[in-house]
Chain A
Amino acid sequence: KAGVTQTPRYLIKTRGQQVTLSCSPISGHRSVSWYQQTPGQGLQFLFEYFSETQRNKGNFPGRFSGRQFSNSRSEMNVSTLELGDSALYLCASSFTGGGVPLHFGNGTRLTVT
């Protein structure tokens, strides 16, 4: 069974630009969560989607948004990029979300210059 796939693996953007990251969950998983990982803050929860609906949201500004498609694939968008958005963005999927174990992808390393 294929794991969680995140694309691209690396991305370099300039301040003010926008970026879209993609995540394909494990087949059959309906929940997709996104986390931002930085050395100083660790893993911070961005949002969770379940059956195309945002079910949980973290404390990030509105520049961070996401969506989930009917095939459970998810995209995350960051508009008006800031230097502080440089981070590893991790996507994780599970059957139902909540307290069940998450299966993570390899992440997308975003660098904002």
Chain B
Amino acid sequence: AQTVTQSQPEMSVQEAETVTLSCTYDTSESDYYLFWYKQPPSRQMILVIRQEAYKQQNATENRFSVNFQKAAKSFSLKISDSQLGDAAMYFCAYGPGDDKIIFGKGTRLHILP
């Protein structure tokens, strides 16, 4: 069965610093998608970044980038120049393309002013 593991339940980072959130997943599929979602206190889940497994190039969205290691089944999220508005719960998710998207249990990120 596919699983997604986020080993860091909570993390803190100083404002303007860089932080990396870890995620590993388990699958026997070769073609799939990986996502990072952000859930602020407002509760709405917001897509941060998406990576197609067949693409070797790591996805980047402004201050957010990923380190995708397909062989290691690792998909970490790097947030550069952290801002107070980045404080939220971050979920790593795996989508095999024709089945449900599976989420990790999340990492709560605190931004210290």
Contacts and interface: CB of A to CB of B under 8 A. Distances in A.
A99 B103 contact: no
B45 to A, nearest CB: 4
A56 B104 contact: no
Contact of B106 (A42, A56, A99): A42
B101 interface: yes
Interface string A90-113: 101000001111111111010000
B64 interface: no
Interface residues of B, number: 24
Contact of B100 (A41, A48, A101, A105): A48
| Interface of B, helix, strand, loop or mixed by DSSP | loop
A106 B96 contact: no
A45 B43 contact: no
Contact of A107 (B33, B43, B47, B50): B43
Interface of A: 33, 35, 41-43, 45, 48, 56, 58, 88, 90, 92, 98-107, 109
6 contacts: A90-B45, A98-B97, A99-B32, A99-B101, A100-B33, A104-B44
